């Protein structure tokens, strides 16, 4: 048996072997009533966004030090963290070259590039993101945008948009408005829609005396900044069960944002898979709110005990979300983005592992004979539907996935590891 020191990154399967295996798999799936070519087209078409903050451990590019983290923490000290916008973009380029399917890039406001000037967050303009916009247009990437309502001195007493201090609230409202203008500029430049997603760290470590007033203030702040629709911008609100330093009370809870989105009518919801209790089903929540809100965004992360932002894997939770969306034929209506920050592993590899996991989940969902299963359930033959779902685990899914990678000109299997290792030796290791 080879030791760890002796192991090297495996090569990608040979194209001829991939094609042979795929032909056999196509016949197996056809016997189940599944057209693999149609499934491949559906799974390949869905854009997946990579989040810029994994590349540098959520440090950002601002010219001044921020305040508290707002409950966000990237742990670990793996070498090679990006130190500039150019290095983050290089890392994203490298990851996207190893991930099949169309790509988007998800940005936070703290990644503005302002040269030597100090620009406060409420004064940010589209020109401070011009390098990102030019790069995305050149590469054909979509863009998404997030206000950064954490790691700043104006996060006071654990509050931003819900603060009892009017000056604090107004600062963050102006920051969020500025980010919507930036999102609109991104939409015009790229010719596509931009998800504008808002998460705030407001809450308390211990139970507060008054839970109503902070939420009234948050509602007023949201009304002020979301009053008008912005062309090309899809507004979403991201809830969280709790975070570091706000274990007892989270102002922007799922129930609050759901109520706000339904009342507002033009605002969608973001579901981060790590932001709910482990016994809750995010897939069920998505199907429950889909008829009620205009837009849905899924942040794919992986919760481990109390921590919410580990590198995504194709877990049962991720597969269930993919199944739910694909069975409804709504995969194009839902936005998909990674959202993790792990500084203990190669950060480029984290992107590749996470995004390929999401793409595999979508493909597996597209390979399910959903129409046949619905017919069985309608005929009250539920046991047979269960048997068919279990049988899906025996189908030669890996052969179809390898073929998807082959025709997308991306490494199949673990063939991408060698390229990541090369990039680490030649690029990341030189960063220290």
The catalytic site residues sit at 199, 238, 240, 272, 275, 299, 307, 309, 339
Dist CA 12 CA 411 (whole Å): 6
Dist CA 185 CA 327 (whole Å): 34
Burial class (CB in 10 A: 0-12, 13-18, 19+), 206: exposed
Dist CA 101 CA 221 (whole Å): 38
Dist CA 261 CA 269 (whole Å): 7
Report which of 169, 271, 171 is spatially closest to residue 220, judged by C-alpha positions: 169
List Cβ neighbours of 410 (8 Å cut-off, separation of 6 or more).
Answer: 97, 98, 99, 100, 416
Dist CA 125 CA 105 (whole Å): 19
Backbone phi and psi for residue 308, each to the nearest 5 degrees, phi listed first: -115, -5
Tokens of 275: 């932001």
How many C-alpha atoms does 181 have within 13 Å on its Cβ side?
14
Strand ranges inside 54-192, DSSP E: 103-108, 142-146
CA 230 to chain centroid: 22
Dist CA 416 CA 11 (whole Å): 8
Dist CA 97 CA 78 (whole Å): 22
Backbone phi and psi for residue 326, each to the nearest 5 degrees, phi listed first: -70, -40
Report which of 12, 82, 23 is spatially closest to residue 406, judged by C-alpha positions: 12
List Cβ neighbours of 133 (8 Å cut-off, separation of 6 or more).
Answer: 126, 143, 185, 186, 189, 190
């Amino acid at each position: 048996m080879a030791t760890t020191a002796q192991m090297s990154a495996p090569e990608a399967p040979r194209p001829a072997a991939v094609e042979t295996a795929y032909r056999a798999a196509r016949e197996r799936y056809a016997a189940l009533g599944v057209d693999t070519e149609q499934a491949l087209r559906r799974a390949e078409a869905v854009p997946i966004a990579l989040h810029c903050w994994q590349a540098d451990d959520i440090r950002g590019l601002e010219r001044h030090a921020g305040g508290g983290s707002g409950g966000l923490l990237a742990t670990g000290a793996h070498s090679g963290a990006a130190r500039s916008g150019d290095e983050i973009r290089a890392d994203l380029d490298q990851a996207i070259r190893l991930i099949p399917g169309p790509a988007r890039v998800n940005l936070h406001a703290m990644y503005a590039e302002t040269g030597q000037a100090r620009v406060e967050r409420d004064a940010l303009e589209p020109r401070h993101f011009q390098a990102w916009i030019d790069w995305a247009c050149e590469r054909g990437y979509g863009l998404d945008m997030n206000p950064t309502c954490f790691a700043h001195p104006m996060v006071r007493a654990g509050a931003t948009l819900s603060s009892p201090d009017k000056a604090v609230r107004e600062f963050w409202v102006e920051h969020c408005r500025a980010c919507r203008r930036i999102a609109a500029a991104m939409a015009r430049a790229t010719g596509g829609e931009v998800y504008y997603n808002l998460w705030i760290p407001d809450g308390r470590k211990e139970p507060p005396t008054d839970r109503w007033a902070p939420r009234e203030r948050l509602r007023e702040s949201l009304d002020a900044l979301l009053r008008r629709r912005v062309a090309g911008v899809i507004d979403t609100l991201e809830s969280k069960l709790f975070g570091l330093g706000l274990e007892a009370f989270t102002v922007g809870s799922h129930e609050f944002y759901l109520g706000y989105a339904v009342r507002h009518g033009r605002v969608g919801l973001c579901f981060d898979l790590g932001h709910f209790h482990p016994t809750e089903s995010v897939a069920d929540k998505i199907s429950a709110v889909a008829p009620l809100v205009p837009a849905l965004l899924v942040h794919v992360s992986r919760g481990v005990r109390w921590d919410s932002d580990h590198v995504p894997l194709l877990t049962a939770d991720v597969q269930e979300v993919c199944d739910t969306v694909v069975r409804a034929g709504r995969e194009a209506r839902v936005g998909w983005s990674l959202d993790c920050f792990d500084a203990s592993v190669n950060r480029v590899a984290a992107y590749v592992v996470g995004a390929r996991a999401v793409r595999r989940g979508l493909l597996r969902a597209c390979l399910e004979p959903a129409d046949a299963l619905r017919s069985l359930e309608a005929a009250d033959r539920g046991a047979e539907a269960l048997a068919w779902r279990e049988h899906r685990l025996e189908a030669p899914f890996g052969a179809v996935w390898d073929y998807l990678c082959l025709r997308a000109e991306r490494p199949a299997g673990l063939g991408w590891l060698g390229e990541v290792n090369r990039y680490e030796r030649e690029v990341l290791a030189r960063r220290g």
